[in-house]
A = this chain, B = another copy of it.
Amino acid sequence: MTRRDDIKAETRELILQAAHSLFWEKGAEKCTIRGIAQEAGVSAATIIVHFKNKTALLEAVLSEDIEETLSGALGTLPRDAGLQATLLHIATAMVNFYDHNRELYRVLIRDTLFEPSHESPSISKMDSEYFPIVAAIIDREKAAGKIRKEVDSLLASQAFFSLYIGQIREFLRTPEMSVSTTLNHMSNILDLLFNGMYIQEDNS
């Protein structure tokens, strides 16, 4: 229950490090399993045994940084920030993060977003972790009388996510699109949604 597991974990780590290095250096599509295997000092078959397929390896390599960025953004939230500011804060962190290597994240999202959730567990953790957090903020704002009571929190979270992904898509597949332009669009689109979600103050 120890020795063998240690070696296995070590092998896994070797693969992850080699993959991380090569993915970042050459991009996901230019990297081959054989190349990563060589860099890690293992066989190609070993990689598949550990990670099931190339996409799963890419996900394993990138998901840690993504989660760190996301939780970092959640941790640096301005105290008492409203929902709209919160969402823009998160989006800002993520766009700046993805900008470090657009091609890499483009391939990751492309290859995981439309898969059934059990195929890409790291990514779809968002469904189970991120949505409830946003939904909770919405409920708090509802209690504070800022958001209409009829709004379905979960549905609204999904709507935010859809709008977010839509912009991320444009950002990742359009090299000439700058971070600031993207965030501007993001902000304007949030405005669009919120001006309906917030209760108008001058009712009756």
Question: Are the C-beta atoms of A195 and B197 separated by less than 8 Å?
Answer: yes
Q: In the complex, which of the residues A115, A161, A165, A192 has the most CB atoms of chain B within 10 Å of its own CB atom? A: A192
Q: Which B residues lie within 8 Å of A151 (CB)?
A: 192
Complex Cα distance A192/B203, Å? 18
Q: What mask results when residues 113 to 142 of chain A are scored 1 for a CB within 8 Å of chain B, else 0?
A: 111110000000000000000000000000
State whether the Cβ of A193 lies closer than 8 Å to any Cβ in chain B. yes
In angstroms, Cα B95 to Cα A18, docked, is 43
**Could you say how many copies of this chain the assembly holds?**
2
With beta carbons under 8 angstroms apart, the residue of B161, B170, B195 that contacts A166 is B161
Assess the B155–A188 pair: CB atoms within 8 A: yes
A173 at the interface (CB under 8 A from B): yes
Known pairs A110-B110, A196-B192; A159 contacts B163 (CB<8 A): yes
A195, closest chain B residue (CB): B196
Is the Cβ of B106 less than 8 Å from the Cβ of A174? no
The residues of A with any CB-CB pair to B shorter than 8 Å are 106, 109-111, 113-117, 148, 151-152, 155-156, 158-159, 161-163, 165-167, 169-170, 172-174, 185, 188-189, 192-198, 200, 202-204
A-B contact pairs, 24 of them (CB 8 A): A109-B114, A114-B169, A116-B174, A117-B173, A148-B195, A152-B188, A155-B188, A155-B189, A158-B166, A159-B189, A159-B193, A162-B165, A162-B166, A162-B167, A163-B163, A166-B166, A193-B193, A194-B196, A195-B197, A196-B196, A196-B198, A200-B202, A202-B202, A202-B204
